[in-house]
Structure 1
């Protein structure tokens, strides 16, 4: 990953606004949109000038002939590492998720299958669970077509192809020792998944070890998805660790 250049506070605020708007819309972001929707405290002309500087720093790029800008992988990595604030799940949301898997808490295969399904439903994303025993569960494949990035046939073909490749996912997990991680672009190995992101948390019990997570476009709604991934990973640890 390229080294992150030093930014002024103003550039940081503008970059954060661009990334969050891009996450929400999947559309390149223009200075007028930023001026109308975000309280940046500067003029549209200043926003435009700073966007040019951020583009020169390779944190933004201009897709095709669009007047707007989109974040680069370096910018997305900076956002997930330093700028975003995750949203806590409400008690009602936690109860709803727990109810989805509660009756399967004594059977590991059903627990992992239903946890994967619950994660996909809650996040509206493709959810994946892999275990050290060589099992790969996934749910929510139709959700990837809700993201315009996956109108790209080759990208969708390559991502769906990995669902038949347990070794790909397990090697990816083994290559990263952190119990929780966000992988972006080149972090995802040699596959043609440069536009993708993968959020996962590992679980380890006397009966099963592995990881559960969500994969999608690099502009995943990280603040909303991260707490759900963590919560379901914690439930697997709790249930499978109590047998």
Structure 2
């Protein structure tokens, strides 16, 4: 991995935070004014060029602004991001939201996808190794300007009917042996929807059932807020499946 100076890390972090907040291209002026890094716009521009050459940033053809690349997001997630812990109130609310459905797995998993969609404002999915697929929040695709693109929406809606597509993500999540599996671009999962989308999945495994729960959304997901929700939900589902035996 390319070495980054602390200043480059600070600038990359500021760009990611700004892009996550606005969904827009980020220029040096806004970074200088808003994030008070103690360097001039010219210095920030030079560092942005260096970050682009190292593939941490991407440049749009029609603007001088930059976007974080999948590599940039990966660096941020692995080295900078601090997850926002769920409060006890949130944990209790999550548990209560699916508690009444705990006796029937299919109802519990379906309800879990609905609750996660409501909480995150994103398309939420649950898939298992027995071919079950539940999703909720498709309307969020139509509410988000960046997701409401005819081609992107069409590709995602097509994938919702492809059990094998999500089964492959389940397989890769399991193989990765990571608690959370981040899909930040097509290098992580070779499908054109991830040119424009990102995903986070958590896995669960109990009583011979292996599955994933996660979300699909724009590139600029609020990873530090969404990741702990998915982690908690995946553990909760695993515990509830164990209790069903």
* TM-score interval for Structure 1 and Structure 2 normalised by the shorter chain: over 0.9
Q: Aligned with 1:159: secondary structure?
A: helix
Instruction: Flag the 1:188–1:148 CA change in 2: closer, same or farther, 3 A.
Output: farther
Cα deviations by residue, 1:123-142 (Å, 9 ceiling, x for unpaired): 11110000111010000111
CA distance in 2, matches of 1:167, 1:139: 18
Q: In structure 2, what is the equivalent of residue 182 of structure 1?
A: 182
Aligned equivalent of 2:64 = 67
Q: Which residue of 1 aligns with 2:109?
A: 112
Do 2:197 and 2:219's aligned partners in 1 also have CA atoms closer than 8 Å?
Answer: yes
Q: Distance in 2 between matches of 1:106 and 1:183?
A: 32
Q: Does 1:32 align with 2:29?
A: yes
Matched, 1:12 2:6: no
Which 5+ residue runs of structure 2 have no aligned equivalent? none
The whole-number CA distance in structure 2 between the counterparts of 1:79 and 1:140 is 27
Query: 1:221 Cα deviation (Å)?
Result: 0.9
Root mean square deviation of aligned Cα:
1.6
- Looking at structure 2, the residues matched to 40 and 173 of structure 1 have their Cα atoms a distance apart, in angstroms, of 41
Aligned pairs for 1:127-146 within 5 A:
127-146=124-143
In structure 1, distance between residues paired with 2:60 and 2:143: 20
Alignment of 1:77 onto 2:74: yes
Shift of 1:58: 2.6
> 8 Å contact 1:76–1:218 — kept in the other structure?
no
> What is the count of residue pairs matched by the alignment?
240
Structure 1 unaligned spans of 5+ = none
1:7-65 alpha-carbon deviations (Å, 9 max, x no partner): 11100110011011111111011112112221312222221221122223232222242
> 40, 49, 52: which is aligned to 1:52?
49
Partner of 1:194: 195
1:205: which partner in 2?
206
C-alpha distance in 2, partners of 1:7/1:131? 40
CA distance in 2, matches of 1:202, 1:192: 21
Residue 121 in 1 paired to residue 118 in 2?
Answer: yes
- Cα distance in 2 for partners of 1:226, 1:234 equals 13
CA contact (8 A) 1:131 1:209 kept: yes
Per the normalisation by structure 1, the TM-score is: 0.92
Q: Deviations over 1:62-116 (max 9, x none)?
A: 2242232111222122222222111101111112222211111111111001111
Task: Name the CA distance, whole Å, in 2 between partners of 1:61 and 1:184.
Answer: 14
Partner Cα separation in structure 1 for residue 189 and residue 157 of structure 2:
14
Q: Secondary structure at the match of 2:160?
A: helix
Q: Give the Cα–Cα distance (whole angstroms) in 1 for the partners of residues 111 and 119 of structure 2.
A: 12
Once residues 59 and 3 of structure 2 are traced to their aligned partners in structure 1, the CA distance between those partners, rounded to angstroms, is 21
Residue 100 (structure 1) aligns with: 97
User: Any conservation in 2 of the 1:188–1:194 contact (CA below 8 Å)?
Assistant: no
Q: For residues 202 and 38 of structure 2, what CA distance do their matches in structure 1 show? A: 38
